[in-house]
Amino acid sequence: MALESKILTWAAEEISKVSFWNLSFFFSILAAITIAQKIKKEKKYPPGPNGFPLTGMLPRINKQFHLFLFDLWKTFGGIMSLKMGNQLVVVLGDAKLIRAAFAKQEFSARPKSEFSSILGGYGIINAEGKLWKNQRRFLHQQKFGMKHWGGSGSSQMESRISDEVLYLLSSIESEKTNPFDPAPILNCAISNVICSIIMSTRFHHNDKRFQRFMFLFNEGFRLFTLTGAMAYLPIMKHLPGVKNTVEQIKSNRDEMLEFVQFIVEEHKSQLDRNNPKDLVDSYLIEIEQAREAGNLEQVFDSMDPEKQLQQILLDIFSAGVETLKTTIQWSILHMIHNPEVRRKVQEELDSVVGPHRLPCMDDMASLPYTRATIYEVQRRATVVPMGTTHATDRTIEFEGHTIPKNTHVIPLLYAVHMDPEVWDQPEEFRPERFLTAENKVQKPKNFMPFGSGQRMCLGDSLAEMELQLFFSSLMHVFDIQPPSQDELPSLEGIAGVTVYPKDFEVNFIARNVEALISANVSRSKQTESEWKPHVRMYA
């Protein structure tokens, strides 16, 4: 028998085994997919895979979401569309397209979800429209609260960060056990930079209230990740498990707001309008001035100004701590996996900084390899692999495609940083990518860890300075060794709000402790006096 007729007979036998209802279900799905394909073509949506009716691509997700999208990107390219549940999602995986889209106001909205409704449009990360614009401008002008400290903006930032660097190095030095997991003390140091700037508060890492605050934050991130699918299938919010998760998010948030409100009340009672000391003071003054001028409604777009202040504090904390802590954790891991790079960084630090002091911002121009290594950590780790999802506030024609109002738009930064056409062997860790032939630092156009455009990260300068000071000082004072050379800690990330490493321990071996001792002794009284009188230890 010819092959074709064999196949036909087999197919006829198989179909005869299937019930009429199964068969009609199968053909309905086929018809729905065909119609969806037709609509997509007719509406000129960007190309993309066909999902199932109702659930779209949700049932097809078989790995971490950014890696799943990266696989699709390999087929569909820099702009694609897919259905997640009933929601149309456009994914941009090309630096040029991300820049072009996010420069436009039309792409600057945020998705409406159960989670954003809990936040009620307050804060900065989920705010939109006039409120968002005003708040962005205000935070920028106030330099997150450092405006009133005197001195130039960057010297204030540096003095604040350097102090926390010193506390961190001293904590590592006095740690009794080696190896140990550096995450908790890193977390505390990074949190203290933000907390002292925005609310004049520092914590000890053993402080119970701080531990509870951090627990609530981490729990919040974990629960938020659990509700991921709910953003696309709102019907899920009626499932008992999901309902409980949403309730838990609300109650955790209430507890965090209570703590933040306590800080705000304390500031109110001590407020000196002529000497604001931090972001909370600046906000309280802004509220008073707007009230006096009778334009409170306008400035805060008819939203409650105190609720806005509370959410701003939580937003800045959540945007500025987890991202930085995770990047420094990755930098330690990459130094363990790439001893040759580590050795070169340390040689550069030894020759430029020397054994008697810690690195400072003035050294950075002479530390190209160290800076290039930090950029390569940021590229390779891409801790925010899908940026923060944007949404369209109207129907847009973009690059020959139609993108309807309320489409979710994901900037796939992971694809931008792992595109083999742009980065030779992107899996490899090579700081040289960020150096010119003349050994000068260069940032290729396809490097965008902070996103791009109107909603680009507001803390990029602070983050860069923190990364440079924390990383260079850690590498200068300590050598970093894995607990065992036979089995290095994993480079596989866990995807949550950021992509973070699995728990790991590391040996810190003193190499330039003298630099730490002299830094502790000669800490500049002058720079300290700019902020120290205000900042207090929270107990």
Across 367-381, b (16+ Cβ under 10 Å) vs e yields bbbbbbbbbbbbbbb
The Cα–Cα gap between 183 and 210 comes to 15
- The residues, ordered by sequence, that sit 6+ positions from 80 with a Cβ below 8 Å of its Cβ are 46, 47, 48, 49, 72, 73, 90, 91, 93
The Cα–Cα gap between 193 and 163 comes to 9
The DSSP 8-state label assigned to residue 353 in this structure reads T
- The residues, ordered by sequence, that sit 6+ positions from 242 with a Cβ below 8 Å of its Cβ are 227, 230, 236
Nearer to ligand HEM, 49 or 496 (CB): 496
Least distance (Å) between residue 293 CB and ligand HEM: 25
Do residues 379 and 354 touch, judged by C-beta distance below 8 A?
no
Helix spans in 338-445 (H) = 339-352, 368-381, 413-418
Nearer to ligand HEM, 450 or 504 (CB): 450
Least distance (Å) between residue 279 CB and ligand HEM: 10
Nearer to ligand HEM, 231 or 516 (CB): 231
Least distance (Å) between residue 127 CB and ligand HEM: 7
Nearer to ligand HEM, 153 or 354 (CB): 153
Q: Is 145 helix (H, G, I), strand (E, B) or coil?
A: helix
Least distance (Å) between residue 450 CB and ligand HEM: 5
Nearest residue to ligand HEM, by Cβ distance, number only: 459
Do residues 501 and 490 touch, judged by C-beta distance below 8 A?
yes
Least distance (Å) between residue 186 CB and ligand HEM: 13
CA dihedral 259, 218, 329, 537 (to 10 degrees): 20
The Cα–Cα gap between 536 and 122 comes to 28
Q: Is 410 helix (H, G, I), strand (E, B) or coil?
A: strand
Nearer to ligand HEM, 319 or 367 (CB): 319
Give the residues across from 435 on adjacent strands.
441
Nearer to ligand HEM, 319 or 353 (CB): 319
Least distance (Å) between residue 332 CB and ligand HEM: 14
* Residues that bind ligand HEM in the complex, under the rule CB under 6 A: 102, 124-125, 136, 144, 194, 315-316, 319-320, 323-324, 327, 383-384, 387-388, 411, 449-451, 455-459, 462-463
Least distance (Å) between residue 17 CB and ligand HEM: 52
> Judging by beta carbons within 10 Å of its beta carbon (0-12, 13-18, 19+), is residue 137 exposed, middle or buried?
exposed
Nearer to ligand HEM, 352 or 469 (CB): 469
Give the residues across from 258 on adjacent strands.
none
Least distance (Å) between residue 476 CB and ligand HEM: 20
Least distance (Å) between residue 191 CB and ligand HEM: 11
Nearer to ligand HEM, 441 or 458 (CB): 458
Nearer to ligand HEM, 335 or 462 (CB): 462
The Cα–Cα gap between 290 and 295 comes to 5
Nearer to ligand HEM, 447 or 515 (CB): 447
**Integer angstrom CA distances of residue 524 from 135, 203, 355, 368, 511:** 34, 22, 18, 26, 23
∠ CA 450-399-422, nearest 5°, is 50
Least distance (Å) between residue 517 CB and ligand HEM: 29
Least distance (Å) between residue 40 CB and ligand HEM: 26
Least distance (Å) between residue 217 CB and ligand HEM: 14
The Cα–Cα gap between 383 and 324 comes to 9
Cis-peptide into 483, omega within 30 deg: no
Nearer to ligand HEM, 179 or 426 (CB): 426
CB count in 10 Å sphere of residue 463? 20
Nearer to ligand HEM, 112 or 136 (CB): 136
> Judging by beta carbons within 10 Å of its beta carbon (0-12, 13-18, 19+), is residue 165 exposed, middle or buried?
buried
